[in-house]
Amino acid sequence: MCIVCRARFPQKGLYRFQENNKKLVNFQKTGRSFYVCAACITNNRNKLMKILNHKFRIKYDNIEDFGKILKELDTNG
């Protein structure tokens, strides 16, 4: 289930991330992870940023920085 829109998807339609030192990182095979769907990564970044801050203490200063981080992660762009 996507943590942003709460819709259910087949697992391959979702990106799996986790928190590491208050940063968003790709899932490292161990630890607490969560899923975000491709649509939310593209269209729902503000909400995703808020949820990450609230639930995981992952904080980004602005949406531009956050967009760069998302590009560096394994999100197919």
Binding site for Zn ion (CB under 5 A): 2, 4-5, 37, 40
> Considering beta carbons, is residue 61 or 77 the nearer one to Zn ion?
77
Minimum separation from the CB atom of position 4 to Zn ion (A): 4
> Considering beta carbons, is residue 1 or 30 the nearer one to Zn ion?
1
Q: Which two tokens stand for residue 32?
A: 């607490």
Q: Which two tokens stand for residue 55?
A: 């639930």
Minimum separation from the CB atom of position 35 to Zn ion (A): 8
Residue that the structure tokens 């928190």 belong to: 19
**Residue 43 main-chain phi, psi, to 5 deg:** -110, -10
Q: Which helix (H) or strand (E) segment is 1 a member of?
A: none
Minimum separation from the CB atom of position 14 to Zn ion (A): 8
